[in-house]
Structure 1
Amino acid sequence: MKYEVTSLNTKKLFAQALKSIVIQKSFSKVTVSELIRECKVNRKTFYYHFTDVYDLLKWTLEQEAIDVVKKFDLIVDYEEVILFVIDYIEKNNKFLNNIYDSLGRDQLKRFFYTDFVGIIESLIKRAEKETNIILPHHFKSFLAAFYTEATAGIIVEWITHQEQQSKEELITYISVIFRSALPAAVKQFSENSKGNAGLPHPNSL
């Protein structure tokens, strides 16, 4: 247990060093040498915990955002989860913008995708309960991917265009879509399935 705590603290030390450096320069220019100098450890220590700087970035974003998100009741508190992620973006704006500039929109979106896929899956389950309809696995997977891609994309876009929309508006718009569109999609799919009861699923053809 003591070793696990020490290992976690070492990772957090590297994460903090990464954030300090990226605030000052492009992520693509960060080197392992800079990180180990900042943390006052040897190179072997870095590579024991991470494969490269990109791996450290992935862990940093997951540790700071995803692990906290997991503590929420996603079905009940999804608006608080979204607010948490947006607050995180505001507090780490320069860090995230420099990552955006280095990696591009799609790469950064991949990190936020993991944040939101659990939320969307939980909301789909809630929509199933509300409508008393159980969706087949293939449509649930499609629905989760569809809304997660959209949500992650909107969040990443907001990182560089915060002046165009307040966070309160953003949360309201996303919540309206979740509350109305998800149950409607569940009902519509069920009605379509009844009308096509004799047809096989496309993947079975």
Structure 2
Amino acid sequence: MAKPELTKQLIAQTLKKLMLNTPLDKISVQEIVDACGLNRKTFYYHFRDKQDLVCWIFDTEFASLTDANHNNSVLDELVEHLYKNRDFYVAALTSNVQNNLSEHFFRIIYESVREKAQEVLGENKIAPAEFDMIVNYFANAIVGTITQWARDGMKSPPYEYSTSFYPLTEECLRFIVEKRAEKRK
């Protein structure tokens, strides 16, 4: 592994350790670099801010999962991953700072919902603005549900989401997209 990657991992592991005893919003960049024996310039060479670091941690961990599990849906993998690492993600998702992880999730989930809606739409057509509004609506619903689950401490197991919420979401998405496509015919 290259030195920059090792440095990023050291910073990430240090943040996770600090978060065991201190809320994310109360941890400063200075505390992170002091705890891992680096300087602030090194931190800012790799990350814009703490939230960029949190998103990097998620992206790094989640990318390895989705590469290994091609058969499962992105949302199932996401919820399972969050649950397995809930101490970290409850703190990260309930943080109210700018550029938080919820905003990052929105971009990921938006793309997943967009792909599903496009699949449902097939050769049918709906107005691009209407299509974007539908995708936006469902992406916000999913992110809001995941964020609320984090605020509640992720006490319910992830299979409750994969067996009820996500199929319901997919059914509703399919219904709305098909109805809108029918109106355009």
TM-score above 0.5: yes
- Tell me the distance in 2 between the aligned counterparts of 1:50 and 1:56: 6
Residue ranges of structure 2 left out of the alignment (5+ in a row)? none
- Tell me the distance in 2 between the aligned counterparts of 1:23 and 1:40: 19
Output the amino acid matched with 1:21.
L
3-state SS of paired residue (2:67): coil
Measured at CA, do residues 12 and 57 of structure 1 come closer, stay the same or move farther in structure 2, by a change above 3 Å? same
**What corresponds to 1:64 in structure 2?**
61
Structure number with larger C-alpha Rg: 1
Measured at CA, do residues 84 and 183 of structure 1 come closer, stay the same or move farther in structure 2, by a change above 3 Å? closer
CA contact (8 A) 2:110 2:139 kept: yes
Q: Over aligned residues, Cα RMSD in angstroms?
A: 2.7
Measured at CA, do residues 70 and 122 of structure 1 come closer, stay the same or move farther in structure 2, by a change above 3 Å? farther
**What corresponds to 2:14 in structure 1?**
17
Instruction: Please report the TM-score for the alignment, with normalisation by the length of structure 2.
Output: 0.82
**What corresponds to 1:121 in structure 2?**
114
Measured at CA, do residues 31 and 115 of structure 1 come closer, stay the same or move farther in structure 2, by a change above 3 Å? same
CA contact (8 A) 1:108 1:156 kept: no
Deviation at residue 182 of structure 1 after TM alignment: 2.1
CA contact (8 A) 2:66 2:77 kept: no
3-state SS of paired residue (1:112): helix
Output the amino acid matched with 2:175.
A
Measured at CA, do residues 147 and 25 of structure 1 come closer, stay the same or move farther in structure 2, by a change above 3 Å? same
How many residues matched?
183
- Tell me the distance in 2 between the aligned counterparts of 1:18 and 1:122: 34
Q: Which residue among 72, 78, 83 is the counterpart of 1:77?
A: 72
- Tell me the distance in 2 between the aligned counterparts of 1:170 and 1:31: 34
Measured at CA, do residues 126 and 178 of structure 1 come closer, stay the same or move farther in structure 2, by a change above 3 Å? farther
Deviation at residue 99 of structure 1 after TM alignment: 3.1
Deviation at residue 101 of structure 1 after TM alignment: 4.7
Q: Do structure 1's residue 135 and structure 2's residue 129 form an aligned pair? A: no
Residue ranges of structure 1 left out of the alignment (5+ in a row)? 195-205
- Tell me the distance in 1 between the aligned counterparts of 2:10 and 2:78: 22
CA contact (8 A) 1:14 1:39 kept: yes
Q: Write the deviation string for residues 88-136 of structure 1: whole angstroms up to 9, x where unpaired.
A: 22222222233345427x944223212311211111121023xx41333
Query: Taking every aligned residue pair, what percent have the same amino acid on both sides?
Result: 23
CA contact (8 A) 1:61 1:111 kept: no
Which consecutive segments of 4 or more residues in structure 1 shift more than 6 A? none
